[in-house]
Amino acid sequence: MERSRLIVKNFGPLKDIDIEVREMVTFIGAQASGKSTLAKLISILEDEEFRNNHNLKFETELEKYNILSYLDLNTFIKYEVLNREITNFNFEYSNNKYLKNSIHQLLSISKNGKVSYEDTEEALRTLKYIIVSYINLLNLIHKNEFYNLFSNQIQKVKFEAHFADKRIKKLKVDNDDIDWLLDILERERKIDDYFFLLNQLVNCFPNIFLFDSIYIPSERSFLHLISENIFGLINNNVKIPKYLLTIGQEYEKAINTIKELPLSIIDKKIKYKREGKTSYIYHNENEKVDLLESASGLQSIIPILLLVEYSKTLKEEYNFNFVVEEPELNLYPKAQHELIKYLVKNCLYERKNLILTTHSPFVLASINNLLLAHDKGQKKTKEVNKIIKKESWLNPKNFIAYELKNGKARKIMNDKLGQISENMIDSVSDSFADEFNKLLNL
């Protein structure tokens, strides 16, 4: 299902991009094709602090991800949330200026008296639409937290009396109901009072409106080296990309929270264990090795697993947007497949999203297996579950894939078949086969 739309023109390697952003997106392409640039843009635009802090500049975020130099006079970027079940956010950059809006920013600006109501009636209609949409799409009046909207028992009784039928029959609210809520709250039906109601809703359901991006870079093996000295690096202004320092801080929290982790993705006998200030890889109950001295594949995969597992401990607070660069790094094809199953299982639930960049046709083939499992599993659930566990099935409606080439993005997801185009996966092996045949025929 299309969640958002992103348009990018003349931004570094990205010349003319117009893509859908679904719950899971995969970008494949050669080096310097723009995969990471797109992933970084989505990380910025899906991040709660950037969305809601009107003082945080777009240029500051671009600099954080080392892509500020990509801006030029012809740059155009537009991001529009189309599925409003979660949030209402839009962003546009053109002519060296940008505009962004979100619920929190709207409330923040209104509190500071910076909103001008040139058309009060239109402003009222818009506010009512936003309030009604959130209450209905997220079924807020059926949640116990809704009672926190009211300051005393009399207001709660009035709410129960007026909304009893809609709560019991699970009916939707309308504009008149919003006016009733204001009456119950002893507020007038003026624009500032609608802002008040919207603010109260945000306060009652903060987790619905909080977003955060977890950007796991291809340089993730470096995180373990800097995790113990992260604050020293920040305080001394060491020239390390800011996004690495940011994820380094999250990684430090992760290693201090997740003390032990099975590594069945690699081998059922192996596990990760944190002892004091050292991370070890246990190959059995007695044999262990310092993570920094372990295999490169382990050093690549451990940061992913720790950051995902740590985020799960915060699942009631955020809507996470996971961005993983090149998950296949230093991994055997079977381990790549197991990692993709793990990421789908753990990063696509309860308003969580997953962005992958890759060079690997094995990653695409793994994703196709999960898409096919979802399709076959609709009729043969038990049989498919024995092959691929149901929690790793991937709904084609929630997934899309693109090949990046020559500054453009080509959709390689066949929505009718619910699969990534076989031509895309086979093209790599075909080129090897062609080369092999030429040599054979000499």
- Going by C-alpha positions, the residue among 414, 341, 410 that lies closest to residue 373 is 341
User: For residue 234, what pLDDT is reported?
Assistant: 53
Q: In this structure, how many other beta carbons lie within 10 angstroms of the beta carbon of residue 14? A: 22
- Distance between CA atoms of 425 and 423, rounded to whole angstroms? 6
Q: Judge whether residue 335 has pLDDT over 70.
A: yes
CA distance 281 to 285: 10
Q: Where are the domains of the chain?
A: 4-85+210-440, 106-137+139-204
**Per-residue confidence (pLDDT) for residue 442, from 0 to 100:** 65
Give pLDDT, residue 210: 60
**Residues 117-150: pLDDT tens digits?**
555 676 677 778 778 877 886 778 888 888 999 9
In which band, very low, low, confident or very high, does the pLDDT at 432 lie, cut at 50, 70 and 90?
A: low
Percent of the chain with pLDDT over 90: 50
Tokens at 259, concatenated: 């003390």
Query: What pLDDT score was predicted for residue 355?
Result: 95
HEC string for 343-360: HHHHHCCCCCEEEEEECC
Mean pLDDT in residue range 349-354: 77
CA 361 – CA 34 distance, rounded (Å): 18
If DSSP codes are grouped into helix, strand and coil, which group holds residue 381?
helix
Distance CA 312, CA 105 (A): 27
- Kindly state the average pLDDT of the residues 367-392: 94
Q: Place 222 in a pLDDT band, splitting at 50, 70 and 90.
A: confident
Could you confirm whether domain 4-85+210-440 is CATH 3.40.50? yes
Banded model confidence at residue 86, pLDDT cuts 50, 70, 90 = very low
Which residue, among 16, 12, 67, 25, has the nearest Cα to 412 in the 3D structure?
25
Q: What is the mean pLDDT of residues 308-312?
A: 90
Letter for the amino acid at 425? I
Taking residues 90-118, report their average pLDDT: 68
pLDDT at 273 (0 to 100): 95
